[in-house]
Every structure is written in structure tokens, then in C-alpha cells.
Structure 1
Amino acid sequence: MGGLGTRRTDITRDDGTWAGLYLEVRAPRRPGLCLFTAERRVLLARRSQPVLLARVDEDHCGVEFWRTDAHRSPVPPPRAETARALAGDLGRWAHRLASHLLDAPGGPLHEGRWLIAPESPLLRGNHGRRPEAEYWREMLVEGHPDGYIDWFVHNGSWEILPLRPMPDVGDGRVKAYRKQARDGTLPPVLLWWVSGLDCHLVLDGHARLAAAIAESTAPPLLHLHRTAPGDEVAAGTARAVRRYEAELARHAELRAVHGAAVPDGTATAGPTLARRLRELRTASRPSWAWPLPGGAQQWHRVVEDVTSDRSWPGAGRPPA
């Protein structure tokens, strides 16, 4: 199992059902699949190999991107027998994926606190109850090698940006996964929330996502994001405990005046405390990115290398 020194904790809801896998990662300081920034420019690189180039509009209405063919999933393809054994058990899938992510030299995990969870705004976004195929196709950001993430139209919708072209329905993997989608054994798609792009990146499961869309069914998802650092959790925990104690003290004063007919407060204060502590550990925090050595000029040099003789208007002008 990977991640020497990494602490794992299963998070449960009030009813005891599984809500996510909490990871306290000790190393590395900088991941193999790393986000770099230079002003409004972004580079996602896998062990120094460019995977995605992006530039945020000056008016912050969206992001131009150029996708290379360098993405390689940090997770090996699941075997059919594994899919059958873990069918429908997202908690066990999360532990399996965590082990691979912690072992992978080209994964996104770095020191800090992370959550792998089944909850995603994407699963709650189909308010119009449209056919699943229509909804999930709309959530995909299209374009290869270049395209546009539209923040103006899709603000807050948390779209999905595949890191490689989506396979079509004739692809052999998609055909195999469609059968699993029908019989309920389809392994989950692993999404990585990147706040600087305001969208999810598909880390693993492009063909499985395509299969679910082809079958017009909601894909099983696991959602990876950063959570609050230790000092923020400690401070928030102290505040939550003080509120809990103050609420019990208030009820004790009322009981002293009005007698035992007044509840002691634990029935309401206890669940509130539990919810606050759970939210402290699970709420999303902004993605980390590292300054790109060489800054904007280096970003433009990477653009020239990656795009070769193909024109990409989204790159903008190099700095003077």
C-alpha cells in the first residue's frame, strides 16, 4: 500500500453511511502532476512534460486552453473481476484509488489534507431532469487540442475537462464499459477539482465516462479535492467545541430555573457539533499551484514547443 506516513480516515454521515476518505498526506512537497502559474497563465505538467496550457481572460470570463496528448492516468485500468468485487462500493474504490495515487510518481497528491468523496455538485446539477446523456454531454468541455472554459455562461457549474480526447462509442473500451454500466459494475470516474480553472479534470476514467453517457446513466464518481490545513481545522474545532459547551451551559441555566422538563441540550448541540467538525474536514479549499520558473516568458516558450507550427490564438502575446 502506498503513502508511507499518510493517515487515512473514513468519514461517515449522521446515519452512518460512508461520505468520503480523508487523507493526511506527508509527502511529496510538490506533486508529479503539478500546477504552475505565471500571472494569468497556467501550466499542468506531468513530471516536467506539459499536459495542459491555459490562459485566463483579462476580464475573467473564461479560460483558453491547449491540451497535449501527454496525460497518463496515475491509476492502472481496473480488471473486470475487481469491478465485480467492488461493484457499488465507492468506499472500497476510494481506498484502492488512494493507494495508487499515493504510489504514482505522476499523481496530483502533495503534502496536505485531501478528500476523496462521492458527493459532487455535478450529481445535483440536473435540475431540469434532462436525459442523463444530454446533461453529462453538456457538462463536458469540448475541444482538442484547444478549447475554451466559459466562466460567463457556466459560472459555478463545475464543468468537466477531459485531459485527453473522449473516446467514441465505437471504442473497444467503451463497449466493454457499457456492459458494466448496464449491470451496475462500472468502476467510478475519478475527478480532480482544480479551483484555478473552476472545473474538474478527469484524472482517470475517460472511457468509463463515455460509456455512462452512451448508456444515458449518471456515471459513478469519486471527487478529489484539497481540504482545510491542520491549523485551520484546529482553530475551527476549538470554536465549535466552545459553541457546544456554551449551548450546554445555556440549557443548564434554563434547567436550574425551570426544572428537568427542559432538555439538557445534547440532542441538538451534539449533532450540530458533529456536523461542524465533519464540514471542517471535508469542505473544499483552493488548489495549490507553484510559481512557474521563468514566469510568463517561460510559459510562452512552452507554448511554442507544444503547439509547434500550429496557431493558438488563446496564447495571447508574449510579455515584452
Structure 2
Amino acid sequence: MERGDVTRGDGTWVGLSLDVRDRRLPGLCVFSAGSRLLLAQQSRPVLLAVVDEQHHGVDFWRTEEYRSFVPPPRADMARALAGDPQRWAHRFARRLADSPGSPLHEGRWLLSCENTFRRWRDPAESPGEHWSSMLVEGHPDGFIDWFVHAGSWEVLPLRPLPDARDGRVKAYRKQAREGTLPPVLLWWVSGLDCHLILDGHARLAAAIAESVEPPLLHVHRLLPRDELAARTSEAVTLYEGELARFAELRAVHGPTVPDGAATAGPRLVRRLHDLDTVPRSTWSWPLPGGEDAWRRIAREATAGRRWPDA
């Protein structure tokens, strides 16, 4: 896997680009069968989901099978890397690349520290209140509400968050107060329109308990290489065409007409930046056996409970 820093025009670090090759099927994989989804980690069902017929949301059933592929960060490492998302990103990138339980597959990805949550936030809302409201509730089953929370990009834990009195949470609460809490690793899945917590359930619980902003890193899929090349060429062609249009105007009306670079240049920079940062739809693979196989897996995972009701 090739890694590269992604920055804004002013040099601000945005994240790491991850170019993955020779990994056809990820260890943490989304399978689809009609309106039904299955998230499986190395053949273990992790999450079952059914998209509502009216597309108002998703019913889900969460199993107890998810295993984080990131070892718990040591306290000394947390202190050494405190406040440095770039160094944390390199550490997480190695785990994403090397672990058989990772969601990465062949293509381009971005591991970013930028906040992509689009929900309007009440200025009077504390960090603890805000992040508590961002969590999708329900275990083992629940509902991701697209009608009420459209575009909010909520957070769905892949296992229940531990209680604030849990031993791990207590240790992380101290780090949260000290400002050395390691980031929570998220993965945006477009078929659910929310982020899944890949690592850091106890750290997020600690941040909520202490009512501090949790440091975040999130990974999402980018444009594939061939489409990136085509879109880049298209953006450059538009830029050159705009400069040519201004040149024609200058030839007719004289040098009082600007050359167009002041408007076309920033537009080109924004377009190229978006090609390197904007999330693309999450890939899913056809579930072998289709809906019949999904129903069989659901019966086994739910111990025969009638779920979903529809």
C-alpha cells in the first residue's frame, strides 16, 4: 500500500491517501442481497441490515462478533502522540493495511482528521450531549433513521459502548482530561449513511463521560485511479478553456479585462482537492446465495427471532 499526505492549498494537513493494490475482497466486507445488507468480518456476521421499503432508514441487527484489528494504544504512546493526528494516522494506516479484519480493498482511500459530520449543532450543546445524540441507539437491534437524520452521518458502534464505570473507560477518562486521548477510528458506509466505529468504543465513551471533543480519524473510499485521471484531465481542460475565453475578451477589449486566472485558478484547486478528499459510495459484493442466504444467516444470528418484522 502506498501512502501520501493530502494537504490544502495553504499547506494544512488533511489526511493520508491510501492506495491499496492486490486486495480484491476485504476482511471486513459489505455484502448485498436486494435491499438487504450483511457486514461480515472474516466470515463472521457482524451486522445485518434491511433498507426500509420507503427508504426512510435501515433496520439493523448487531451481533457480538466484531473484533477490532487495532491493538489498544499504550498510555506512553498516547502521551507521545497527543495532539498529532498525522502521526496517529500513520499508525492506524499500518493496521488498516496489514490486518486481515480491515475494510480496505483495492482502490484509493482517505484516512482523514477533518470533521465530515453535517449535522447542525446547537452552540449551547455540550460535547457530551452532542456526541450522545450522534450515536445510533439499539442493541441488538435498532433503526438508522434517514427521515429525521438525513445527511447527519450518525455514528453506529459495532458493539455496545462500555459503561462510564468500566475499567478501560476510567483509564481513558484520565487521558481525555489530560488531552492525550487517542483518536476514535471511523469508517463511513454509504449503504447505511452513517459511520461505523472500527476502533475506540471505550475512548468515545470516555470522551462523552468527560464531555470533551473526541479526536477522530475516519476512513472512506475515494475515486478509483482511472476515474481520477479522467476527472483531473477534465478539470484541467475546463481551466484552460476559461483562460482561453478571457484571452479572447482581452484581445477585443484590451488589457483592462483580467486574464481569468484569479477566478479559474482557485476553482481548479477546489476541484482537484475534492477529487482527493470527497467520499465515494462504499463498495458491496453480491452475497452468495442471495436473499435466501441472508435470511438463513439472519435466523442463525437472531436465534430464530422474527426480525425484521416487515
Whether the aligned pair in 1 keeps the contact of 2:173 and 2:209 (CA below 8 Å) is: yes
Of residues 6, 23, 32, the one that matches 1:11 is: 6
Matched, 1:164 2:159: yes
- Bigger shift: residues 232-241 or 202-211: 232-241
Distance 2:245 2:307 in 1: 63
Task: Specify whether residues 312 and 125 from structure 1 end up closer, same or farther in structure 2 by C-alpha distance, changes over 3 A only.
Answer: farther
Aligned position for 2:38? 43
Distance 1:76 1:258 in 2: 66
Residue type of the partner of 1:153? V
Alignment of 1:45-194 (within 5 A): 45-122=40-117, 125-194=120-189
Distance 1:130 1:64 in 2: 28
Alignment of 1:257-296 (within 5 A): 262-296=257-291
Q: CA shift at 1:262, angstroms?
A: 4.8
Distance 1:119 1:315 in 2: 38
Aligned residue for 1:101, secondary structure, equals helix
Distance 2:26 2:272 in 1: 28
Aligned residue for 1:223, secondary structure, equals strand
Aligned position for 1:196? 191
Identity of aligned residues (%): 65
Whether the aligned pair in 1 keeps the contact of 2:118 and 2:151 (CA below 8 Å) is: no
Aligned position for 1:313? 307
Of residues 214, 221, 224, the one that matches 1:226 is: 221
Distance 1:186 1:64 in 2: 32
Whether the aligned pair in 1 keeps the contact of 2:246 and 2:260 (CA below 8 Å) is: yes
Q: CA shift at 1:243, angstroms?
A: 1.7
C-alpha RMSD over aligned residues:
1.8
Structure 2 length as normaliser, TM-score? Answer: 0.94
Distance 1:33 1:105 in 2: 8
Aligned position for 1:242? 237
Q: CA shift at 1:94, angstroms?
A: 1.2
Gaps of 5+ in 1: 1-5
Aligned residue for 2:151, secondary structure, equals coil
Deviations 1:280-312 (A, max 9, x none): 121111101111111111111111211225x24
Distance 1:7 1:38 in 2: 33
Structure 1 length as normaliser, TM-score? Answer: 0.91
Residue type of the partner of 2:82? A
Q: CA shift at 1:249, angstroms?
A: 2.4
Task: Specify whether residues 315 and 120 from structure 1 end up closer, same or farther in structure 2 by C-alpha distance, changes over 3 A only.
Answer: farther
Residue type of the partner of 1:59? Q
Aligned position for 1:3? none
Residue type of the partner of 2:232? T
Residue type of the partner of 1:67? R
Residue type of the partner of 2:220? H
Residue type of the partner of 1:213? I
Distance 2:230 2:3 in 1: 21
Q: CA shift at 1:49, angstroms?
A: 0.7
Aligned residue for 2:236, secondary structure, equals helix
Aligned residue for 2:308, secondary structure, equals helix
Distance 1:176 1:108 in 2: 28
